[in-house]
Amino acid sequence: MDNQLSIGARANPLSHFEQWYETVQNSDPQPDAASLGTASIDGIPSVRLVLVKTWSEIGFEFFTNQKSRKGQELLVNRNAALTWHWKGFGAQVRIRGTVSIIESSAVRAYWNTRSYGSRISALASAQSTPIPHREALVEKANQLKRVYGEDSDMPVPDNWGGFRVHPSNYEFWLHDPDRLHHRIEYANVDGKWVSMILQP
Ligand SMILES: Cc1cc2nc3c(=O)[nH]c(=O)nc-3n(C[C@H](O)[C@H](O)[C@H](O)COP(=O)(O)O)c2cc1C
């Protein structure tokens, strides 16, 4: 177990996140993968992985199809949670908060950084809806490749976009060999971050 991460409270949980991320990104195989929890309007939960590549003081961002299950749930129930697990470091970070929709200019900017294949796939896929067989999807992607060449200015699909999770709480967790693990939670109280140690 690598012990390069330290648990002591910082003034601001975002700097805590950034310090950990800076360390783990050099050796974790997929540091940007986080489990995203959403819930339906009736409170039925659903969790899946997304890539969180960008963040700031305002929040943590991911991109997806807004007609997908997660997209539809977030449009009616803005509560969301993200959890990162960096196995080689025995570390977990959790955030909870509410989401907002990322502005179309930022969505377009991110869209343009995606590979040709990823853009074609996002255009082809009505994410989370059934299709009779996989060949139909492959054929749809091939058709789109005939319409949009590698160098063409491919439009952002209508339903594709991004959400930003605005954290109200962060939790940092570090493994202890005797399972007396370390946990520190930060809660936003009237605009100020308050930290507390939680029992494992
Ligand atoms: C490592 C990893 C990263 C993923 N990143 C994304 C992502 O950034 N956006 C996305 O829409 N789906 C991503 N997926 C797929 C989702 O986990 C999920 O299958 C898909 O978004 C449909 O989820 P939903 O039906 O709950 O909306 C990723 C899957 C894995 C395994």
Q: What is the pLDDT of residues 78-87, one digit of tens each?
A: 999 999 999 9
Between the CA of 46 and the centroid of ligand 1 the distance, in Å, is 12
Nearest CA, atom 13, ligand 1 = 50
125 Cα distance to chain centroid: 19
pLDDT surpasses 90 at 3: no
What is the rounded CA–CA span in Å between residue 180 and residue 168?
Answer: 26
Residue 193, strand partner residues: 188
- Reported as a pLDDT band with limits 50, 70 and 90, residue 71 is very high
CATH number for the domain harbouring residue 28: 2.30.110.10
| pLDDT score recorded for residue 79 | 98
- Ligand 1 atom with the shortest distance to the CA of 127: 22
Whether residue 144 is contained in a domain is answered as no
Q: Comparing 25 with 8, which gets the higher pLDDT?
A: 25
- Ligand 1 atom with the shortest distance to the CA of 71: 27
**Mean pLDDT to the nearest integer, 175-195:** 96
Residue 184, strand partner residues: 172, 197
CA distances from 60 to 72, 80, 88, 140, 145 (A): 19, 11, 23, 32, 32
- Ligand 1 atom with the shortest distance to the CA of 36: 17
Maximum Cα interatomic distance, the chain, rounded to a whole number of Å: 59
**Mean pLDDT to the nearest integer, 155-174:** 97
Whether residue 107 is contained in a domain is answered as yes
| Residue 39 CB less than 6 A away from ligand 1 | no
Whether residue 99 is contained in a domain is answered as yes
Domain limits for position 37: 13-112+158-197
| pLDDT score recorded for residue 1 | 54
What is the rounded CA–CA span in Å between residue 66 and residue 76?
Answer: 11
| Residue 45: HSE in the Cβ half-sphere, 13 Å Cα cutoff | 8
| Residue 70 CB less than 6 A away from ligand 1 | yes
Number of domains forming the structure of the chain: 1
What is the rounded CA–CA span in Å between residue 175 and residue 197?
Answer: 14
Whether 166 contacts 100, CB under 8 Å: yes
Whether residue 26 is contained in a domain is answered as yes
Whether residue 1 is contained in a domain is answered as no
Q: What is the pLDDT of residues 116-149, one digit of tens each?
A: 999 999 999 999 999 999 999 999 999 999 999 9
| pLDDT score recorded for residue 200 | 97
| Residue 183 CB less than 6 A away from ligand 1 | no
